Amino acid sequence: MQYISTRGGMQPQPFSETLLEGLAPDGGLAVPEQLPQVDAETLERWRALTYPQLATEVLALFATDIPREDLAGMTAAAYADFPDEVVPLRSVGGGITLVGLSEGPTLAFKDMAMQFLGQVLEYVLERKDRVLNIVGATSGDTGSAAEHALRGKERVSVFMLSPQGRMSAFQRAQMYSLDDANVHNIAVAGVFDDCQNLVKQLSGDIEFKRAQHLGAVNSINLGRIAAQVVYYFWAWLRVTDGVEPEYREGFEVSFTVPSGNFGNILSGFFAKGMGVPIRRLVLAANENNVLDEFFRTGVYRPRSAADTHATSSPSMDISKASNLERFIFDLVGRDATGVVDAWKALDTDGFFDFSAQQPRFEGEFGIVSGTSTHADRLATIRSVHEESGEIIDPHTADGVKVAREFIEQDVPMLVLETAKPQKFAETITEAIGVELPLSPELREMMDAPQHVTEMADDEQVLRAFVAEHALH
Ligand SMILES: *Cc1c(COP(=O)(O)O)cnc(C)c1O
């Protein structure tokens, strides 16, 4: 299996080559030359597998340049600290089942992919005898998932910029309590956009980037997309465990995905293309609904930072959706010229317009969408709690709210649980008046000494810091 760029300007590359770079050299994103196919018989064979075993099978289709036994070692290690089932499913009534993706160390779904990425990065770097210094900006979940996945690794270090005083106490503790020598927390005097600009300045300087072996693990990373495909297979298999064997083949389910950068739902789109019987992929947005607008109208208009709202489902607060380009590539018939033209229009006009194609979004690709607001989130957390006794986090609540608009008779609706409520305790209290107790481990994390370097919003200061602490 080889990977090409959505903009047509990259020699086909194997999986491991796509992991270390962010964008393709032509500014596009790496996509499989063609999606691997899984037939009904193979799906049935996979029914007996544990989650790490299933992950090995699915990832082996993407990572054909890595021996299967090595992949098996990596998936076993990646999910070793999760509960036995790794991804538990539970019904919350009203035809809705939650797919639990937040059982990892940072209580959010990004652990699912990042834990695997940590394993495979170390493996690839060892074989190439290289090191990698990850520089990233975070407003919460991504940074902590990356740090927890990469802590203690020998060939990778992490420099994670976060906006000083803008993260919750929980988020700060989750990152700053790590005291591994290869983890560098940097609190910038500024907002998230300032952090992101600093990262862009550093990685945009090709010479500095080479000399300091800089890399990224952001949401366009193909290793993350591939690892996320696995749980769509898993969820389908677990739902159809409860279906009479003769009706399992082609038994359709729908998924609702709380979305920001279009990474998670893109993995579902890949799973559908590979043969998982998925009827609909429902995209749930919060007030920053640039993607809902696109899927309803065909017009994609990224927002400015000033038009991007800070909401109570903060991990979905995006101004543009980095992974959308991979969907556009399929929409235009896998034709790089079509992608380049769309992005040219975006540059000149501030939007691109596929309204003539909009009926295909649902008809051909099965993607529909909706928006949820703060009031919706609170009402949904409340109603799910009343009906099932379950407490769901605000992002998952956005999912349940939009999922309810697309429930169909006889089609199970699976909502991806993208975070645990403990992570967003203030909103839970606002919704149902309950103070969520912290487990002893979380209590300990909150009380642990914190390790963070405070820094001015100054590129030169950051350069000097990275050059001094980077692995070489
Ligand atoms: C990152 C994140 C999302 C959005 O996922 P995308 O892949 O960016 O669409 C949703 N919920 C939570 C809790 C997240 O951390």
Q: Is residue 278, in this structure, part of any structural domain at all?
A: yes
- The kind and range of the H/E element at 93 are strand 89-93
DSSP designation for 48: G
Q: Which residues are catalytic?
A: 110
> Residue 9: inside a domain, yes or no?
no
418 lines ligand 1 (CB under 6 A): yes
Give the C-alpha separation, 356 to 362, whole Å: 13
Q: Which residues of the chain have pLDDT under 50?
A: none
DSSP-assigned letter for residue 9: -
Using DSSP bridges, classify how beta strands 352-353 and 299-300 pair: parallel, antiparallel or unpaired. Answer: antiparallel
The domain containing residue 330 runs over which residues? 89-105+235-432
> How many beta carbons lie within 10 A of that of residue 90, not counting itself?
12
* pLDDT of res. 24: 87
The 8-class DSSP code of residue 420 comes to: -
Spell out where 96-155 has E strands: 96-100, 132-137
Structure tokens at 349: 């006009």
How much of the chain is in helix, strand and coil states, percent to nearest 5? 50, 15, 35
Structure tokens given for 367? 């993607």
Within 13 Å, how many C-alpha atoms sit on residue 223's CB side?
29
Structure tokens at 372: 């949820």
| Interatomic CA distance for residues 224 and 39, integer angstroms | 24
Q: Using the atom order of ligand 1, give the atom closest to the CA of residue 395.
A: 11
Q: What's the CA-to-centroid distance between 101 and ligand 1, angstroms?
A: 11
Rounded distance between C-alpha atoms, residue 81 and residue 156, angstroms: 21
Residues 6+ apart with CB under 8 A from 361: 295, 298, 367, 368
CATH number at residue 412: 3.40.50.1100
State the Cα–Cα distance between residues 139 and 317, nearest whole angstrom.
10
Closest listed residue to residue 421, CA positions, set 389, 450, 397, 440: 397
| Residue 176 near residue 147, CB atoms below 8 Å | no
Instruction: Using the CB atoms, write b or e for 398-418: b if 16+ within 10 Å.
Output: bbbbbbbebeeeeebbbbbbb
Q: Is residue 225 part of a domain?
A: no
Kindly give the distance from the C-alpha atom of residue 140 to the centroid of ligand 1, in angstroms, as a whole number. 11
Alpha carbons 368 and 379: distance in angstroms, whole number:
22
pLDDT tens-digit map of 98-142? 999 999 999 999 999 999 999 999 999 999 999 999 999 997 789
Where does residue 79 fall: left (phi above 0), alpha (psi -120 to 50 degrees), or beta otherwise? Answer: alpha
- Residue-level pLDDT at 279: 98
Does residue 262 have its Cβ closer than 6 Å to ligand 1?
Answer: yes
d(CA 100, CA 79): 14
Instruction: Answer yes or no: are the C-beta atoms of 143 and 162 closer than 8 Å.
Output: yes
Nearest to 98 by CA among 334, 352, 408, 400: 400
On whether residue 27 sits in a domain, the answer given is no
Name which of 338, 343, 336, 340 is nearest 357 in CA terms: 338
The answer as to whether 53 is a domain residue is no
Beta carbons of 369 and 269 less than 8 angstroms apart: no
E strand residue ranges, 183-327: 183-188, 214-215, 253-258, 278-285, 299-300
User: What DSSP character marks residue 350?
Assistant: S
Looking from the CA of residue 110, the nearest atom of ligand 1 is 15
**Owner of token pair 């109208």:** 297
**DSSP classification of residue 34:** S
Atom of ligand 1 nearest to the CA of 262: 9
Mutate to test the pocket of ligand 1, among 259, 312, 324, 392 (most ligand atoms within 8 A of CB): 259
pLDDT of residue 108: 96
Helix axis angle, 459-469 relative to 192-204, nearest 10°? Answer: 60
Is residue 408 included in any domain, yes or no?
yes
- 104-135 core/surface letters (b: 16 or more CB in 10 A; e: else): bbbbbbbbbbbbbbbbbbbbbbeeeeebbbbb
Triad 92, 109, 220: Cα angle to 5°? 135
Residue 287 lies in a domain: yes
108 lines ligand 1 (CB under 6 A): yes
As a whole number of angstroms, the distance between CA 331 and CA 335 comes to 9
- Whether 415 is in the pocket of ligand 1, judged by its Cβ within 6 Å, is no
* Residue 62: C-alpha distances to residues 43, 45, 93 (Å): 16, 19, 36
190 lines ligand 1 (CB under 6 A): no
Could you tell me the two tokens for 406? 């697309």
Quick check: CB of 256 below 6 Å from ligand 1? Answer: no
Predicted local confidence at residue 169, as pLDDT: 87
Instruction: Please count the structural domains in the chain.
Output: 1
Among 259, 388, 250, which Cα is nearest to 313's? 259
Look at residue 312 and tell me if it is in a domain: yes
